[in-house]
Amino acid sequence: MTQYKIGNKTSYKFFLFLILFILTYSSFAQQKRVVGYLPSYRFNYNSSISYCKITHLNICFANPDSVGNFVIDDFAEIIERAKSINPNIVICISIGGGGLSELQKEIWSNLIDNPANRPKVISKLLSFVNENNLDGVDVDLEWSAVTSGYTNFVISLSDSLHAANKIMTSALPGTYRYAQITQEVLWANNFINIMAYDETGPWNPDNPGQHSSYNFALRSLHFWKDQGVGSDKLTLGVPFYGYNFSGNTVTEFKYSNVVNIDIKYADLDKMNNAYYNGRPTIRKKVELAAKEASGIMIWELSQDRFDEYSLLNTIHEKFTLLGDTTTGLCGNLTSINSNAVSLWNVYPNPASSVVYIENTINRPIQVEIFNSFGQKMQTTQDSFNGKTEISIADFKCGIYIIRITGNHYVMTKKLIVQK
């Protein structure tokens, strides 16, 4: 066995760590979902959203009128732009929503609780999906809107959608199962979006604190696994919003609001008595989702910052660093063919003060170096024609990952730094 010297110590544990680290970050690339909701009252953010970083877009919310015709603002431009950027994006219409009026709840109850009305509303919903070139339906009927006909409605809707080669998903609470959620209902879904947020909020003003902690995310995943749902069907929901408990009334705010006050809040979870998820917590949740679920769900896309402090970009980068494929776009393509690998050479390796990246092409690329904790140590962008020197004089001894991103690939290489 090869022995690597770190300072004055020789350790077989170090070699074992090397193997585990490389396996974690390189070998077991998997397909992961990134599901983003975009509500109708935020359609004006269409031009700002990086659709190349989400696999599934849920347009929300379409709800029926009294005779079952589904109503929502026009979203043709959203589909056009999303598909032009990401041809493989899966676009669903989301029905229901947590903010239904009492009249809307009555309409839903009349349509799905009455066995005579149920086939009609399903037929109209399927027509709506086909007419708008959608890929399926996301069911987000919540709490008092989950009525006696919910079970049969969801099962019948799933049968109709699957017969038409469409998908059906549902948004469900983090740690609560409605009585109407039978095992057949769970199986009817292609996957489930777990709303692992709103553990507290305006309805509970005497309980200020984090409404979407890492612990709540963990408990939510374990809750649904205990209900018999496999990891491949679970998508972990994360919030791009928070709650401010400072005044007499608890108010909701967007993640972008606090970062607009000071960019330091991008890496925190609290501003005075206002609680939200910053980038470090989102990264931890992506790691959790990569291990125990099949992806991340976002409520909702317009609440983000659309710059280097973006939470969507944080999710995208973290999945890529973990070696998980999402869209395969915007630098996420983690599977490399032999031709791409042969274009690049990194040496010396091990290295002490400088490392050279040599290539046989002249194309714009980005080179990033990460330490064993996943922290980005250096970023370089250049055309890299020939050989480029990168200083690592300030790096401590240890294992690093070099990530090279080109137009059509992402490649990772191990770098050992010795002094």
Nearest to 92 by CA among 142, 32, 140, 30: 140
- The answer on pLDDT for 142 being more than 60 is yes
What fold does the segment set 335-417 form as a domain? Immunoglobulin-like (2.60.40)
- Range with lowest mean pLDDT among 160-164, 209-213, 382-386, 415-419: 382-386
* Element spanning 400, H or E: strand 398-405
- Please give the mean pLDDT across all residues of the chain: 88
What stretches of 86-233 adopt beta strand conformation (E)? 90-96, 136-140, 167-173, 191-195
Specify the pLDDT at position 415.
Answer: 86
Residues 6+ apart with CB under 8 A from 394: none
Nearest to 170 by CA among 94, 222, 107: 94
> Is the pTM of the predicted complex or chain greater than 0.85?
no
Q: Residues of CATH 3.20.20.80 domain(s) within the chain? A: 30-321
Strand partners, 400: 415
**58, 35 in Cβ contact below 8 A?**
yes
- Range with lowest mean pLDDT among 229-243, 295-309, 326-340: 326-340
> Tokens for 73?
């603002």
- The answer on pLDDT for 130 being more than 70 is yes
Specify the pLDDT at position 363.
Answer: 57
**pLDDT band (50, 70, 90) for residue 412:** confident
What fold does the segment set 30-321 form as a domain? TIM Barrel (3.20.20)
Q: Residues of CATH 2.60.40.3080 domain(s) within the chain? A: 335-417
Distance set, CA 34 to CA 53, 127, 223, 319 (Å)? 7, 26, 21, 10
What does the pLDDT look like over 346-404, one tens digit per residue?
A: 889 899 999 988 765 555 677 888 886 667 788 877 655 567 788 999 998 888 888 77
243 SS3 class: strand
Q: Given its phi and psi angles, is residue 150 left (phi above 0), alpha (psi -120 to 50 degrees) or beta?
A: alpha
> Tokens for 88?
């493989």
DSSP track, 36-54: EEEEGGGGGGGGG--GGG-
Q: What is the chain's Cα-based Rg?
A: 24
The residue among 4 and 225 whose pLDDT is bigger is 225
Specify the pLDDT at position 402.
Answer: 85
- Range with lowest mean pLDDT among 85-94, 148-157, 315-324, 410-419: 410-419
Distance between alpha carbon 238 and the CA centroid of its chain, in Å? 8
Specify the pLDDT at position 16.
Answer: 42
- Range with lowest mean pLDDT among 24-28, 153-157, 407-411: 24-28
- The answer on pLDDT for 341 being more than 90 is no
- In angstroms, the CA 51 to CA 229 distance is 28
- The answer on pLDDT for 333 being more than 60 is yes
The residue among 304 and 418 whose pLDDT is bigger is 304
Pairing type for strands 33-39 and 295-299 reads parallel
> Tokens for 135?
């890929």
- The answer on pLDDT for 275 being more than 80 is yes
